[in-house]
């Protein structure tokens, strides 16, 4: 089992930056593909970014491509989301997710995961 705790959310003005962290428990963190999702009020949860087990491959939603960067540290069991050039439409609760298996990335792209964090609020003011 993997337990994850997100941190780093907060209130930021448009154009600013934030870095989210997701610390995971367990010694098998490196077996999991990791992802970030977000859910704005009144909207469905949406995929933001994903990273492969080794960290070599990353994937982004078009809405954040070029502004957000996902990374991971398999020694610290942590995945990060660096968010630059923030926009008011980035306001949401951000969740990290972990999925394992041959179809893990495909499931993340579909919004499915084995484990979810509790979420951290990001609010971007105009």
- Strands (E) across 74-114 are located at 78-83, 92-99
Residue 26: what pLDDT?
A: 76
Residue 62: what pLDDT?
A: 97
pLDDT in tens, 72-113: 999 999 999 999 999 999 999 999 999 999 999 999 999 999
Do 32 and 54 touch, CB atoms closer than 8 A?
no
**Longest Cα pair distance anywhere in the chain, in angstroms?**
42
């Amino acid at each position: 089992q993997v337990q994850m705790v997100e941190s780093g959310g907060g209130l930021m003005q448009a154009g600013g930056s934030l870095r989210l962290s997701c610390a995971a428990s367990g010694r098998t963190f490196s077996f999991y593909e990791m992802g970030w999702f977000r859910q704005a009020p009144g909207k469905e949860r949406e995929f933001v970014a994903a990273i492969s087990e080794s960290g070599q491959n990353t994937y982004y939603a078009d809405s954040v491509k070029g502004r957000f960067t996902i990374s991971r540290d398999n020694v610290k069991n942590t995945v990060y989301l660096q968010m630059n050039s923030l926009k008011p439409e980035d306001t949401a609760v951000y969740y990290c997710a972990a999925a394992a298996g041959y179809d893990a990335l495909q499931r993340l792209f579909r919004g499915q995961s084995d484990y979810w964090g509790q979420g951290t609020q990001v609010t971007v003011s105009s």
